[in-house]
Amino acid sequence: MPHVPYRRLVELSGRPFLVVGFLSRLPASMGQMGTLTLVSQTAGSYAAGGLAAGVLGVSTALGSPVFGALTDRYGQRRIVLLQGLASSLGFVGLVLAARSGAVGLLLVAAAVAGFFVPQVGVMARVRWRALVHRPPVHDPSDHRPQDHSHQRRAESPESVLSTAYAYESIVDELGFVLGPALVGIMVAVGDPSVAVLSVCALLLVFGSAFAMHPTGAIVPRGGAGRRGPRGPAGGLVMVSVAMFALGCLFGSLQTATTSFAGERGDPGLAGLLYALSGIGSALAGYGVPRLPAGWGLLARLRLFALLMLPLSLPLVLAPTLVGYGAGLLVLGTCMAPYMITCFTLVERVVRPEQLGAATSLLPATVNIGYAVAASVAGAASDASGTGGALATVIGAIVLMNAVAWIGGLLVRHLVRPATG
C-alpha cells in the first residue's frame, strides 16, 4: 500500500474544508477543559468539576450515535446546524448556573451542551470516504495545474483513507492542544466563563461553516428501510472497549494535571500543561502513514499500549511543573498512533454498510471513558491529592493493555487483511 502525501487531501477537499474542519472541532476540547476549570473554581472542588465534565462527556457519548444515525438518514447539513445552536445554548446555561451555584441546573445544562455538540471528527471521516471515490473539489484560490492522473493510478482508496484518517487524528490532537491552551490563557488572564462562552461563538460560526461546506452534500444518505446482513460483533466490541480505555486515560490525565497545577499554586497552567500531551501525540501521529504496511494492526495496538506503561512513570515521579510537562509530552507520543490504529481496525472488522454507525460509536466510547475516569480521578484527587488521580491514569493504561493483548487475541480471526 503506497504512502499518499498529505497534500493529496488538499486536492480532494480544498483548503477551506481543512481550515473549517479544524476550527469547528475546538468546542469539544475547550468545552471539556472549560467546564472542568469553571466548575472546579466556582464550586471549590475538583470532584464537582470532574462530575460536571463527566456529565458533559456522557451526554456527548449518548448524542454521538443518535446524531450519527440522523445525519446518515437526513444529511449532515441541517443536523449539524441544529446541533451547533442547541449546544451553544447549553454552554450559556452552564455559565449562568455555575455563577448562581445552582448545581442541578448546572448538570442539566452540561448534559444539553454535551448531547448536542457536533462530532466534527466523525462527520469529517465520513466525508473523506465519499471524497476518495469522487473527483477532487477544486480550490478557486489554487491556480496550479490539477493533473494528478499518474499519482491517482498508483494509489488505492485505502491508502488515501489511511492518510486522511491519520490527518484527522492529528488535527483532533491539535484541537486538544489548542483548546486547553486557549482555556488556560483565558483563565490566566481573565475568567473561565469567557473560555466557555467562546465555545458558543465557535459553534455558531465555524460549526455552521462546516455544516454548509459543499463536502457535506456528497455524503450518501441511507434510507430508513435499508438493511444489510450484520457482521460479527466481537471485533467492534473490542475496538470500542479499546477506545473506552483511551477515554479513561484522557479523563484521568486531564483531572490529574488540573490537580497537579492547582497544588503548585498555578491552576491556570493546567490547560497549557495538558496541551503538551497533545503536541507529542500530533507529532507521532504525523508519521503513522509511513509505518510498514506489513505491520499488523493488532501488533501495533499492543506495542503502543505497552509503551505507555514506562512512559507514564515520569508523571508519577516529577516534582516540578517542567518535569510533569515533559512527561506529558513523552506519554502523548503513543496516543495518536493508538487512536489511528483503532479507527483503521474498525474498517477491518465491520461490513462497509455498517461503517458509518460503527465509526460514530468510537468517540462515544471515548467520551464515556472520559466521564468515568474524570469523576473517579476527581474524587481520588480530593481524597489523596494528585497521587490519587495519577493512580487512575495508571489504571487506565493497564486497561488499555488488557484490551490490546487479551481482546486482540480473541478477535484476531475477525480482522480482514488490507486490500488495494
Please give the mean pLDDT across all residues of the chain: 83
**Residue range(s) defining the domain that contains residue 30:** 7-144+151-414
Confidence band of 150 (pLDDT split at 50, 70, 90): very low
Residue with the three cell numbers 452534500:
217
For the cut 80, the answer to whether the pLDDT of residue 112 exceeds it is yes
Taking the C-alpha atoms of residue 143 and residue 170, their distance in angstroms, rounded to an integer, is 27
The mean per-residue pLDDT over the stretch 263-281 comes to 84
In a domain, 2, yes or no: no
Residue 1 lies in a domain: no
Residue 299 lies in a domain: yes
CA 248, distance to chain mean position in Å, is: 12
The grid coordinates of residue 308 equal 505507555
Domain membership of residue 226 (yes or no) is: yes
Task: Note whether residue 420 is domain-resident.
Answer: no
- CA nearest neighbour of 236 among 76, 127, 343, 78: 343
Kindly report, residue by residue over 211-258, the tens digit of the pLDDT: 999 988 887 666 544 444 445 577 788 889 999 999 999 999 989 998
User: How many domains does the structure of the chain reveal?
Assistant: 1
What percentage of the chain reaches a pLDDT higher than 90? 33
Q: Is the dihedral of CA 21, 53, 280, 247 positive or negative?
A: negative
Neighbours of 40 (CB within 10 A): 26
DSSP codes of every residue in 289-318? GGS-TTS-HHHHHHHHHHHHHHHTHHHHH-
Grid cell at residue 356: 458509518
Task: Tell me whether residue 222 is in a domain.
Answer: yes
Q: Exposure of 37 by Cβ count < 10 A (0-12 exposed, 13-18 middle, 19+ buried)?
A: buried
Give the 3-state secondary structure of residue 326: helix
C-alpha cell recorded at residue 45: 472542588
Residue 221 belongs to domain with CATH number: 1.20.1250.20
End-to-end CA distance of the chain: give it in Å, rounded. Answer: 7
Predicted structure pTM score: 0.74
- CB-facing half-sphere around the CA of 388: CA atoms within 13 A: 16
Helix or strand (DSSP H, E) at 123: helix 120-131
pLDDT tens, 307-359? 999 999 999 898 889 999 999 999 999 998 999 888 888 877 777 656 666 77
Q: Above 60 in pLDDT, residue 198?
A: yes
Note the pLDDT of residue 416. 58
Report yes or no on 193 lying in a domain. Answer: yes
Least confident of 144-148, 190-194, 414-418: 144-148
C-alpha grid cell, residue 401: 493493555
Query: Which of the two residues, 16 and 355, has the higher pLDDT score?
Result: 16
Angle at alpha carbon of residue 95, lines to 62 and 85, rounded to 5° = 55
- Does some domain include residue 405? yes
Q: What does each C-alpha distance from 411 to 215, 233, 333 come to in angstroms?
A: 35, 10, 26
Average pLDDT over residues 263-269: 82
Q: What span, in angstroms and rounded, lies between the C-alpha atoms of 408 and 50?
A: 31
